[in-house]
Structures are given as C-alpha cells and as structure tokens.
Amino acid sequence: MPKLMRELFVACGLALATATLCMPAVAAEPAKKPVKAKAKSSKKSTEKHPKAVDVLPDEPEPDVSNATTTDYACELNNKVTIYHNDIDPAHIALRWKKRVHRLDRIGTTTGALRFENVRYGLVWIGIPAKGMLLDSKLNRQLANECKSEDQSKKELADAQAAVEKAAADAAAAAAAAATATATAETAPTTTAQQAVAPTK
C-alpha cells in the first residue's frame, strides 16, 4: 500500500510539473495574436482618414495687383491692410504680419462686414467706425480698434462737433441762467411798486 501511494504521489507530481511547464507556452501564444490584429487595424484606420488640413502645403497668396488698398492702424501698433476689388465683393485679401490671406464673405444679421479664412482661422469684422481681426482657432483678438485714415478723420470730426455742441449748449444754459437771474432781480421791485401805489 505505501508503495502504491508513493507511485501515485510521483505520478501526480510529474503531471503537475508537466502542466506547469506547458501552461506559459500555451498562454503566450494567444497574447501575440491580438497585438498583431491591433497593429493591422491602426494601419488601416490611418489609410482611410485624410490628413489634417494643417499638414497640407500653404495656399498661394492672392494676386492683389489690381485691388484697392486700405491701410488700418490698430491698437498696440498693429497694422492690417485690406485689398478689395469692386468686381468681387464676396472676397477680400488681408495682409497680417508678413502674409496675405484670401478671406470669404460671411453673411451677418447685424449689417457688419465679416470675412473669414477657415483654414487659418482669420476673421475680419468691419463696422463703419472701426475693424478688428480675430483668431477663431484660439478664440482671441489679434488686432482691435483698427481704423483707416478716413475713419480716423471722421472720428476726429465727430469729436470736434461734439465739443462744439457741448460748448454751444453750455453757452445757451449760461444765457438762460443770466436771463432767469435778471428776471428774478427785477420782479421784487415791480411787486414793491405795485404794493406802494394803492397807499398813495
């Protein structure tokens, strides 16, 4: 009986050792297959999707040889130049820093002029008093309080007109006050004379 038990323990030990040695080899094989499958699928996914716009070559600068030029002086000594053509009101060219960009007109409900270059994120907004340049990708202003020479002259003329109107209003108010004071000073004398007249 003890001999049989010994043989049984030896057989079990051998079976256990064999199973332990075989298990890592079996487990290692399936682990390799999913990794290879993932690598293949990632290659396919990059082939299906187009490359990002940013990695494409730069767009050519628009021809501005026959365009009307308007220079804008902005805050912080920034400068913007707008090139426009009366034949093509749907587009402008805009010089910012050292590059000229083509911008497309976008309709607005406010009446402001809005031109945009989606690729570079440039947005030009023009109103009668001023213009501003925005970066729509980073949500920030690039140039603000941009005014052409005509806009600056009009602003100065409006300011002078406002000063002159304020001075005229002040003079009119002073004249009205003087008239009111003079009337107030003569009124008691007349009343006193009327009060004295019946006693005579």
Supply the pLDDT for residue 71: 96
Question: pTM higher than 0.75 for the full model?
Answer: no
Is the per-residue pLDDT at 180 higher than 60? yes
pLDDT top residue among 56 and 186:
186
**Pairing verdict, β 79-84 and 91-96:** antiparallel
pLDDT in tens, 3-27: 656 666 666 665 555 555 445 444 4
Q: What one-letter code names the amino acid at 96? A: W
User: Predicted confidence band at 177 (pLDDT cuts at 50, 70, 90)?
Assistant: confident
List pLDDT tens digits, range 31-78.
Answer: 555 555 554 544 444 444 434 334 345 678 888 888 999 999 999 999
Region 68-151: CATH code: 2.40.128
Calculate mean pLDDT across residues 133-149.
95
- Would you state the pLDDT for residue 124? 97
133 burial (CB, 10 Å; 0-12 / 13-18 / 19+) is buried
Quote the CA–CA distance of 30 and 69 in Å, as a whole number.
69
Cα 10 from Cα 149, distance rounded (Å) = 103
Tell me what pLDDT residue 178 has: 84
Could you give the CA distance from residue 53 to residue 56 in angstroms, rounded to a whole number? Answer: 5
